[in-house]
């Protein structure tokens, strides 16, 4: 029975939703969650306005390759839309096993496990292996999926300064020898485009008997002679004990993987909540990833074009004296240093038909507020000319 003389305030959570600053600001300035109505090559349409997409991670442009589309259609016809359950409970399908064998072989690992998002795979690569009593040493700029894995694991953690093996050494050497240790890094840092100092970090992992987990979502397909990623870039096939990543970047699809020794993958299958309690990767997503992986191996021209485009894009940024945080890869941040500049730069690019994404503190370190961009093999000569003109214009607006 409601008490009539007490003014009800409503549910506290409803009030929280209404008064939340990030949500209020997002709805006011509309920097995120845009809806596109059409996509063709490197271009997207919002209503009848056309943009060059410079914010996606479709590095090789394989997502709409005819062979990928054909493979997806065939899988849909053969298997239907979903897997309707977790593999532990209602079984793997032969397409999961085939993709896992192919990925393991490609990455030079004994085994692989795929799941329905890179986020789940990367979270799982930490959460399944680490447990209470272990110590995790994590690069402070690591992706949210890895932090979620750390939090879920119950292990304690120490942050080391970004891509800094000396700091990592210092932290490792202050820990007791017998404590199980895990080092967590990215192969290519998604926001900064920096390549991990894998040779030094892998040597530390050996010296201190630490298990090294590397999220290579942005290195896979991009780095190395054959696109095998950061480990191939350094010619260190066993550099990391576990490599995790996503199908949503170079493969242009959806899903994720962890590749490691047979023992480590079987252990993950016994302990990964992200696997045990979540429906398996769909038939279409698996078939598309497999077809794109095949193309990655058979058509190296996509990677060559990616790096050629990256060279031209970098020249534009150099010419305009824009700070791209010493990125060494096609993931190129434009560091502008404060929120207002970022907003006006981003708006000016939109005005000129270039779609990018804003990333401001706390998502990036203070003073590093930036626009994140990624160049792709899909960008044409005409796109790159339009990008150059738009950036020159945007620079006059800050």
Residues that bind ligand PMP (CB under 6 A): 117-119, 122, 143, 145, 186, 190, 215, 217-218, 246, 248, 256
Please, what is the minimum distance in Å from the beta carbon of residue 339 to ligand PMP? 21
Is the CB of 217 or the CB of 268 nearer to ligand PMP? Answer: 217
Give the integer Cα–Cα distance in Å for 307 and 377: 8
Beta strands at 242-246 and 256-260: parallel, antiparallel or unpaired: antiparallel
Region of 211 please: left (phi>0), alpha (psi -120 to 50) or beta: beta
- 388, with CB counted inside 10 A (0-12, 13-18, 19+), is middle
Please, what is the minimum distance in Å from the beta carbon of residue 246 to ligand PMP? 3
Is the CB of 155 or the CB of 214 nearer to ligand PMP? Answer: 214
Asked if residues 280 and 272 have their Cβ atoms less than 8 Å apart, the reply is no
**φ, ψ of residue 55 in degrees (nearest 5):** -120, 0
Asked if residues 150 and 171 have their Cβ atoms less than 8 Å apart, the reply is no
Helix axes 283-298, 66-79, angle to 10 degrees: 150
Please, what is the minimum distance in Å from the beta carbon of residue 367 to ligand PMP? 22
Please, what is the minimum distance in Å from the beta carbon of residue 372 to ligand PMP? 10
Is the CB of 165 or the CB of 229 nearer to ligand PMP? Answer: 229
Is the CB of 134 or the CB of 186 nearer to ligand PMP? Answer: 186
Sign of the torsion angle spanned by Cα atoms 343, 344, 346, 350: positive
The residue with its CB nearest to ligand PMP is: 118
Please, what is the minimum distance in Å from the beta carbon of residue 147 to ligand PMP? 11
Is the CB of 119 or the CB of 343 nearer to ligand PMP? Answer: 119
Please, what is the minimum distance in Å from the beta carbon of residue 145 to ligand PMP? 4
Task: Give, rounded to a whole angstrom, the gap between the first and last alpha carbons of the chain.
Answer: 59
Is the CB of 135 or the CB of 331 nearer to ligand PMP? Answer: 331
List of long-range contacts for 224-229, beta carbons under 8 Å, 24+ apart: 226/297, 226/300, 227/60, 227/296, 227/297, 227/300, 227/303, 228/106, 228/107, 228/108, 229/107, 229/187
Neighbouring-strand partners of residue 333:
372
Helix axes 301-319, 283-298, angle to 10 degrees: 80
Asked if residues 332 and 376 have their Cβ atoms less than 8 Å apart, the reply is no
Please, what is the minimum distance in Å from the beta carbon of residue 218 to ligand PMP? 6
Please, what is the minimum distance in Å from the beta carbon of residue 129 to ligand PMP? 16
Is the CB of 278 or the CB of 390 nearer to ligand PMP? Answer: 278
Is the CB of 212 or the CB of 394 nearer to ligand PMP? Answer: 212
Please, what is the minimum distance in Å from the beta carbon of residue 143 to ligand PMP? 4
Is the CB of 248 or the CB of 286 nearer to ligand PMP? Answer: 248
- 353, with CB counted inside 10 A (0-12, 13-18, 19+), is middle
């Amino acid at each position: 029975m409601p008490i009539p003389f007490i003014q009800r305030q409503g549910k506290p959570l409803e009030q929280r939703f209404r008064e939340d600053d990030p949500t209020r600001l997002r709805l006011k300035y509309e920097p995120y969650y845009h809806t596109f109505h059409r996509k063709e090559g490197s271009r997207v349409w919002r209503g009848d306005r056309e943009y060059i997409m410079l914010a996606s991670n479709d590095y090789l442009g394989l997502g709409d390759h005819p062979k990928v589309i054909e493979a997806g259609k065939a899988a849909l016809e053969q298997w239907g839309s979903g897997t309707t359950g977790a593999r532990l409970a209602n079984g793997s399908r032969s397409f999961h096993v085939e993709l896992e064998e192919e990925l393991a072989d490609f990455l030079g690992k004994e085994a692989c496990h795929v799941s329905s998002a890179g986020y789940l795979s990367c979270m799982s690569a930490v959460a399944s292996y680490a447990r209470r009593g272990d110590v995790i040493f994590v690069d402070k700029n690591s992706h949210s999926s890895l932090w979620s894995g750390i939090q879920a694991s119950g292990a304690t953690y120490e942050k080391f300064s970004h891509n800094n093996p000396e700091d990592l050494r210092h932290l490792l050497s202050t820990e007791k020898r017998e404590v199980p240790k895990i080092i967590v890094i990215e192969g290519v840092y998604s926001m900064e485009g920096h390549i991990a100092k894998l040779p030094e970090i892998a040597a530390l992992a050996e010296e201190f008997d630490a298990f090294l987990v590397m999220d290579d979502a942005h290195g896979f397909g991009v780095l190395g002679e054959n696109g095998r990623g950061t480990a191939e870039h350094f010619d260190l096939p066993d550099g990391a004990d576990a490599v995790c990543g996503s199908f949503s970047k170079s493969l242009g699809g959806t899903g994720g993987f962890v590749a490691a020794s047979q023992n480590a993958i079987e252990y993950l299958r016994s302990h990964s909540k992200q696997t045990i309690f979540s429906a398996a990767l769909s038939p279409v997503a698996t078939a598309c990833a497999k077809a794109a992986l095949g193309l990655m191996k058979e058509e190296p021209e996509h990677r060559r074009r990616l790096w050629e485009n990256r060279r031209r894009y970098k020249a534009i940024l150099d010419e305009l004296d824009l700070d791209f945080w010493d990125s060494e890869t096609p993931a190129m941040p434009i560091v502008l240093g404060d929120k207002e500049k970022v907003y006006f730069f981003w708006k000016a690019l939109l005005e000129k038909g270039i779609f990018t994404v804003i990333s401001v503190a706390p998502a990036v370190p203070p003073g590093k507020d930036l626009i994140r961009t990624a160049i792709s093999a899909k960008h044409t000569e005409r796109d790159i000319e339009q990008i150059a003109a738009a950036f020159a214009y945007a620079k006059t607006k800050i």
